[in-house]
Amino acid sequence: MELILALAIGVMVGSGVWLILRPRTFQVIIGLCLLAYGVNMFIFSMGRLYVGAAPIMPRGGFVDPTAYADPLPQALVLTAIVISFATTALFLVVMIAARGATGTDHVDGKERDQ
């Protein structure tokens, strides 16, 4: 499971980094989304990997903490997802505005040979 997760994070971050270095705004935003997915999975894995373990302990009394997943990274990742989703949406709006304003989808607002 660790290997699959690590590969998944690596592939997503690698593709994301390649894409945000591309000149088209569409590529940049897809790259940022992939990077955000990779980062979110990375945060999630920082609570260690559990299979079939609940993050919330039942009420009352002491229970064995090793039988439960760490709830904190799950809370963190939720916040991170919401924030990166919102800012990416805002970025998308600015990109559409830039497309309308400059007439090109190049990140510099002009084609290289112009």
Binding site for another protein (CB under 8 A): 20, 25, 28, 32, 35-36, 39-40, 42-43, 45-47, 72-73, 76, 79-80, 83-84, 86-88, 90-91, 94-95, 97-98, 100-102, 107-109
Please say which residue, 64 or 84, places its beta carbon nearer to another protein: 84
Q: How far is the CB of 70 from another protein (least distance, A)?
A: 9
Buried b / exposed e over 62-97, threshold 16 CB at 10 Å, is eeeeeeebeeebeeebeebeeebeeeeeeeeeebee
Q: How far is the CB of 47 from another protein (least distance, A)?
A: 8
Q: How far is the CB of 94 from another protein (least distance, A)?
A: 5
Please say which residue, 11 or 86, places its beta carbon nearer to another protein: 86
**Which segments of the chain does DSSP mark as H helices, in order?**
2-20, 25-45, 71-102
Q: How far is the CB of 63 from another protein (least distance, A)?
A: 16
Please say which residue, 7 or 71, places its beta carbon nearer to another protein: 71
* Interatomic CA distance for residues 28 and 39, integer angstroms: 16
What tokens does 95 get? 């990109």
Q: Which of 53, 80, 84, 83 is nearest to 66 (CA)?
A: 53
